[in-house]
Amino acid sequence: MQISGTWRLIARVFLPFAAGYYLSYLFRTINALIANHLSSDTGVATADLGLLTSVYFLVFAVAQIPVGILLDRFGPRRVQSVLLLLAAVGAGLFAISTHFLSLLIARAMIGLGVAAALTAGLKSIVLWFPRERVALLNGYMVMLGSLGAVTATVPVEHLLAWMGWRQLFEILAAATGATAILIHAVVPERGIVPSAARATLGFVLGDRRFWRMAPLSATCVGSSWSLQGLWASPWLIDVEGFDRASLVRQLFMMSIVLCAGAWLFGTTVHSIKRRGIGAEAVLAIVAVLFIAAELSLILRASLPSILPWSIVAIVGTATVVSFAVIADYFPPELAGRANGALNVLHFGWAFLAQYATGLVLEQWSANDGHRPVQAYQVAFGLNIALQIATLVWFALPWCQSIASWMRSILFLKPASDSDALEPAGVYQNSVILVPADDDAEW
């Protein structure tokens, strides 16, 4: 591919889809900053605020499978441009809504409208760019999209100083509509590769490698989105005692780290895959760091607050790692379905975590508008327990291989044929080994 052709593709394919994902991330995280305005203007309670914010994730999750099928069949240009128009209508309705039900419907429309924002971008990369560049470009896509989280902090706070949140959503509605038109007008068509006989959603869902990795990715990435998208703000105010200025500054720093994380994950995966190492190892390390950061929060470790919260934020971009794993498991003609299936779990868990956290917090009475630290410790602790369980499930083949190796050492004899070590299907590009009988089941 010539350099001029590469830059043309970046301008006509990569950047328009990155703009759509930017808006998706902005809509996803903006409620963390306008939560107080919503509560005071509409009387939304804590649990209702959790539902209002998390319905974005619920609708997003439900839409992923049909969106993935549509992307594989009609291509990202048509699907993304139509859906973004729906998101623009939803943002406009959100701007004029005065009751909880209308706000909920509008938020759901926004979630449905941006449901293809990431998967359409990833599909376009698979269709238009060389395979060896996919992981790196995925990282850049998520990095640019994460700028939406940056915008939803200090820049939005400055805008709210001289306009209301309703006027802000009117601007977002116009910007979303303009992006939909841009994608339809600028992005070229690309012939869709006919699906192979096995290229069905059932083929994806029937792959045990998918179900070994997906729960861990979902509980980590989804929880990160839940926390940064809403519950980081109440924690920083109620537990850390932050004032408004300190809160906005911390959210801004977290969003900057978020963008850097996407770039870091993209370059790391690109580098290790060139050395023949699978991205699963990176996903496991990310999960361990995430659990450690959450534990440091609920145990009130004597660390600067920004440190654990930065790790929480950065895990939200670990989708770069997860989608790199998916790209190794399935062929390009299944990219939309496979990515969509994984995103169902990402956003489904984000919905459950965000809404359930609100329900748990409401079990404690607010004292002068603030919840006690015990409420947050219980809510966050439930998340951590499930993340640990999915990490154990993910690492089970590796643990079995270690146990088999230790048995052969302790008994001073070679392992039997049934204990022979072979490369695991789930870790197909890595050096991790599992028992042959476990691999045969997969």
The domain that contains 54 carries what CATH number?
Answer: 1.20.1250.20
How far is 306 from 256, CA to CA, in rounded Å? 12
Radius of gyration of the chain (CA): 22
Is the same domain home to 80 and 15?
Answer: yes
Task: Compute the residue count for the chain.
Answer: 442
Is the same domain home to 128 and 15?
Answer: yes
| Domain contains 198 | no
Would you state the pLDDT for residue 435? 41
Residues in the chain, pLDDT under 50:
1-3, 196-197, 415-442
List, in order, residues 6 or more apart from 299 with CB less than 8 Å away: none
How far is 160 from 142, CA to CA, in rounded Å? 26
Would you state the pLDDT for residue 289? 97
| Domain contains 196 | no
Is the same domain home to 18 and 128?
Answer: yes
Is the same domain home to 140 and 230?
Answer: yes
Is the same domain home to 359 and 426?
Answer: no
Is the same domain home to 159 and 297?
Answer: yes
Would you state the pLDDT for residue 2? 47
Amino acid type, 88? A
| Domain contains 263 | yes
Q: Is 191 exposed, middle or buried (0-12, 13-18, 19+ CB in 10 A)?
A: exposed
How far is 221 from 386, CA to CA, in rounded Å? 13
How far is 194 from 290, CA to CA, in rounded Å? 40
Is the same domain home to 368 and 429?
Answer: no
Q: pLDDT tens, 147-177?
A: 998 898 889 888 988 888 899 999 999 999 9
Is the same domain home to 211 and 326?
Answer: yes
Would you state the pLDDT for residue 198? 52
Is the same domain home to 260 and 398?
Answer: yes
Domain count, the chain: 2
| Domain contains 237 | yes
Is the same domain home to 326 and 433?
Answer: no
| Domain contains 197 | no
How far is 171 from 94, CA to CA, in rounded Å? 12
| Domain contains 199 | no
Three-state SS for 119-169 is HHHHHHHHHHCCHHHHHHHHHHHHHHHHHHHHHCCHHHHHHHHHCCHHHHH
List, in order, residues 6 or more apart from 269 with CB less than 8 Å away: 135, 136, 139, 279, 282, 320, 321, 324
Is the same domain home to 91 and 107?
Answer: yes
Is the same domain home to 412 and 382?
Answer: no
Domain ranges, residue 338: 3-188+204-405
| Domain contains 360 | yes
Structure-block tokens of residue 275: 């050395």
| Domain contains 193 | no
